[in-house]
Amino acid sequence: MATGMQQNAWPRTSINTFTPLRPQMAKEVLFVHIAYHFHPEMGYDVNYMARYKPDNCRMVVVTGDNLSLWKTDAEGIRPLDERFTAETGTEIIRLPSFKTGNNKAGVMLRGLNRTLNRLNPDIVFYHGLESVSFGQSLFFQTRKRYVSGDTHTLFSQFRDLSLPGRLYLYGFFRPFIVKRMVKRGRPVFYTALENKRVLTEMFGNP
């Protein structure tokens, strides 16, 4: 199921899908947002949620230590991470990146499954669900947790798709990840109509 921002042909959902985050519930909910790149001063949706989440929601951002997109390093980002945590109560965990450089698809987060198992979250959200970076983690985590995600992929990104990329998409992502998420009614978010078409035509969402 894809949703809102807008919604695709998976079983219909709405913001009510996330009713565990409503503040009237006494139980604390642990929400983990996973992104291969994250900067605490950029205007991402996760930055907004970190500041305006319900009181009973504990939030953790798990991301990589590859900071080349912003021309900074660990020493430069550390005080920004610490200030973000102090202001929002949201912890930032930076895992070692398997590949450096600006190629997002090549950024693998080492120890991602181990970190998720340690945190034991109620909800896991993958930013860029289709990324090879998250394939192994998605395969295991969708079996035991409430997993959701989003996509920003455009058709132009498939024009020169490499052989490994095709093998991943058609041999693993579609038959195992997408099928499992559809079966469990997990929502997938998109931000533009082209993303919706990619979900249906390229990722095989019914």
Region 145-172 average pLDDT = 87
Mean pLDDT over the full length of the chain:
82
Q: Phi then psi for 81, rounded to 5 degrees? A: -60, -45
pLDDT of residue 133: 79
pLDDT of residue 124: 95
pLDDT category, 7, cuts 50, 70, 90?
A: very low
Cα separation, 67 vs 10, whole angstroms? 35
Q: Is 35 helix (H, G, I), strand (E, B) or coil?
A: coil
